[in-house]
Amino acid sequence: KGRLALVTGASRGIGRATAVALAEAGAHVIAVARTVGALEDLDDEIREKGGAATLVPLDIKDGDGIDRLGYTLFERYGKLDILIGNAGALGAISPLGHIEPKDWDNVFAVNVTANWRLIRSFDPLLRKSDAGRAIFITSGAAWKSTAYWGLYAATKAALNSMVATYAAETVNSPIRANLFSPGPVRTHMRAAAMPGEDADTLPHPSSIAPSILKLASPDLTETGQVYEMRQARFLSFRA
């Protein structure tokens, strides 16, 4: 309650459900995504539920835009309590040799570099919070070697390594940095990845959001861990 939370990829799917759940829990939500109409829909839903949001139409690949957002929030609020790096891109599901260089660069830019820019810009604000929480959405694909998933998997493995490092760099501060691995969820990205799948068999994003909120809690002690949704527990992914 009364906390300031930034969610990337808030326009749909897991990010949108998380933004709504945070607002319902009393946080002011800074909602970041490119699609203005979808952000406005989110704003309507949050208002209907008595919450408050600030909409930030931004391509997460725009690192200078992330810096500017950091300055603005610092001037306005002086801190950030919760950072949720959720925006993600899937890219081509195809043999490594068939991936277009442009696609490779785009998926790394969204899934890895943008999250690094978020850490770079928002670490000073998280350090001003008495319980800064940084949560990044990874994927079980990072731990597997599934044919044709190499691009997406490589980005999530890089994200895991980076977030583990951030956790090590903040372990002596009030900041707790963790990963969240949702497993299959009924979203646009999952439908693009698995076109033949019956989406009704998958959990709705709103059933996932409460677990992400637990990682945002001031009471959390874990850092540098991955919360595996299907196992409903923290896993140490680095021995």
- The footprint of ligand NJP (CB under 6 A) covers 8-9, 11-15, 33-35, 38, 59-61, 86-89, 110, 137, 139-140, 181-185, 187-190
The set of residues, in sequence order, having a beta carbon less than 8 Å from that of 100 and lying 6+ positions away, is: 92
Q: Identify the bridge partners of residue 5 per DSSP, sorted by sequence position.
A: 29, 82
Residue 130 Cβ vs ligand NJP, minimum distance, rounded to whole Å: 28
Q: Which of 71, 77, 148, 152 is catalytic?
A: 152
Determine which helix (DSSP H) or strand (DSSP E) holds 75, and give its type and residue range: helix 63-77
Supply 183's token pair. Answer: 């497993």
Nearest to ligand NJP of 203, 218 (CB atom): 203
Nearest to ligand NJP of 129, 213 (CB atom): 213
Nearest to ligand NJP of 62, 222 (CB atom): 62
Catalytic residue list contains 71: no
Residue 162 Cβ vs ligand NJP, minimum distance, rounded to whole Å: 14
Residue 3 Cβ vs ligand NJP, minimum distance, rounded to whole Å: 21
Residue 223 Cβ vs ligand NJP, minimum distance, rounded to whole Å: 20
Supply 191's token pair. Answer: 């439908």
Of the chain, the end-to-end C-alpha distance in Å amounts to 35
One DSSP character per residue, 185-225 reads: -SSHHHHHH-TTS-GGGSPPHHHHHHHHHHHT-TT----S-
Q: Where do we find the tokens 């963790």?
A: 178
Q: Please, are residues 39 and 57 in contact by the beta-carbon 8 Å criterion? A: yes
Nearest to ligand NJP of 112, 125 (CB atom): 112
Q: Shortest CA distance to 18 belongs to which of 163, 211, 179, 186?
A: 211
Residues acting as catalytic residues = 152
